[in-house]
Chains A and B, each alone.
Chain A
């Protein structure tokens, strides 16, 4: 296998106009995003915006949800994988891509010890595997690696299980880590520990990361770039500092106004009327957000807005993005 190690220039992950679907009714995309070595792309979105499906698509596990990739490209270090077969994806996951699925309890086999499960995914001689398992446990800051390896998942706390999941994802020495809601079930203080650990590991390995969360606080804390998803699409993409302070999509702006962290105490929050839309086929009509959008006009019902540059580094999929920026 040839490894492309040109410094800097090439993103570890580049997704272009990716479209995928699950069954006949759920269609997502087109989605465009990328993550460079040592940087983190945050993906933020509400229930049903398609975050988890996107994660699965990125690691070639969409078929587990009964989905298929319909169009577009997914490149890892310049190598195309969108239409790769099962075998190539498996190889990629074994060598270069780490995946932390949502819900740590579901990600681990409850009736097998942690060490034995980790053994399955490591390669090499028996003694080398054991050594590697210990090193991984130390990397995720387990005080007593041997005890953790001997434990069953239920004997570990939520934070420890999440760190075990991180160790599993790191077992392949990945160039890129895809983490789906890595801290959602955890208490705030434990959440901070796990996020801090992930960031530290990223730094040591100069890994690219994609972190998906519904929690804007988490995204704000860990990401350099952010992609905002709505109804199965990326509606805004740009540097976290820009997008989460002066957004150019009305949905992002509404999300920020609904966030109690940013509002004055005891004031009415800017609730968004209605409920989030599930991923649906945007090509059927206009903008899916228009039914909740105060800026919606006729054009929003007629044509689907494409992701376009609104400012230097910030893109939004909205016909009225300029109005949002100007406001």
Chain B
């Protein structure tokens, strides 16, 4: 873990069209390396837009985005910066090619990332799939026969093929059932621990963010109204909006209830 932040946003502004409304109104945020940082807010607050700017799918209208101290520029593709930031989306049903098995999908990603032939890429693909908890016959099946949780694992394994330093997860567990959501949350915590991965976890679900993240930023109307250590924000929110959001989730700082084993 270095002192250079994994993601640094400096007064980032964005509008979709030249004369359109500003959807991000000067975002400054630092995501420390090796942390899971939550980005919370309601629909339309600009969470996903910010996620897309961070992975350089779009360029900000104004301001700067630094990944491990480097700016996005025309060399980003060549110097490996592009690969170091990967994204996991909400809908695991839309994110996979329906004609490629998990193994084929991840093999393709490894082949591109490591400049290997299919045969050479296959071993590492199997390794990655095992790492996310998929092995055996399931990796050869068609995506249509996979559950939402299994699909999301494939998406994560594919993202890991590029050996990213930063993962942006946009509502990655929102479409999943509680029992399956737990599998994916456990997996993300494991990746943080084992690979030292930095994860920006975008979500509207306070309970999940509270559980998973080290730091959290609260976005409202394109502005970050509050950010800091998750525990601090959950226990002593300073901004009125944060309090409303926490109240809506019935989140009161309670001692953890231990369920019988």
Contact = CB atoms under 8 A, between A and B. Distances in A.
Given A47-B177, A256-B259, A217 B182 contact: no
Interface size class of B (residues with CB under 8 A): 35 or more
B92 interface: no
B204 A275 contact: no
B149 A275 contact: yes
Interface in A253-298: 253-266, 268-276
Given A188-B248, A189-B42, A262-B256, A217 B207 contact: yes
A275 B148 contact: yes
B182 A258 contact: yes
B178 A275 contact: no
A275 B207 contact: no
B211 A266 contact: yes
A273 B182 CA distance: 10
Contacts of A258: 178-179, 181-182
A270 B182 contact: yes
B178 A255 contact: yes
Q: B-side binding surface: helix, strand, loop or mixed?
A: helix
A265 B210 contact: yes
Contacts of A269: 182, 185-186, 211
B99 interface: no
Contacts of B148: 47, 275
Band of interface residues on A: 35 or more
Interface in A205-237: 214, 216-217, 220-221
Interface in B130-155: 147-150
Contact of B248 (A191, A255, A256): A191
B100 interface: no
Contacts of A46: 177-180
B23 to A, nearest CB: 17
Query: In terms of DSSP, what is the predominant structure of the interface of chain A?
Result: loop
Contacts of B147: 274-276
Contact of A255 (B179, B186, B251): B179
A265 B211 contact: yes
Contact of B179 (A263, A268, A271): A271
A243 to B, nearest CB: 13
A260 B211 contact: yes
Given A265-B231, A327-B260, A260 B177 contact: no
Interface in B213-261: 214, 230-231, 244-245, 247-251, 256-261
A212 to B, nearest CB: 15
B248 A192 contact: yes
Contacts of A275: 147-150, 177, 180
B168 to A, nearest CB: 20
A131 interface: no
Contacts of A263: 211, 256
B156 to A, nearest CB: 15
A271 B183 contact: yes
A260 B207 contact: yes
Contacts of A144: none
B259 A217 contact: no
Interface in A82-96: none
Given A265-B231, A272-B179, A187 B259 contact: no
B24 to A, nearest CB: 19
A265 B189 contact: no
Contacts of A216: 178
Contacts of B249: 188, 217
Closest 9 CB pairs of A and B: A275-B147, A260-B211, A258-B182, A272-B179, A269-B182, A271-B182, A264-B256, A188-B248, A46-B177
Interface of B: 42-43, 147-150, 177-183, 185-186, 189, 204, 206-208, 210-212, 214, 230-231, 244-245, 247-251, 256-261
Given A253-B259, A260-B210, A261-B251, 4 more contacts: A187-B204, A217-B250, A257-B259, A269-B211
19 contacts: A46-B179, A189-B245, A216-B178, A217-B207, A253-B259, A255-B179, A257-B259, A260-B182, A260-B207, A261-B211, A265-B210, A265-B256, A266-B189, A268-B186, A268-B189, A269-B211, A271-B180, A275-B180, A276-B179
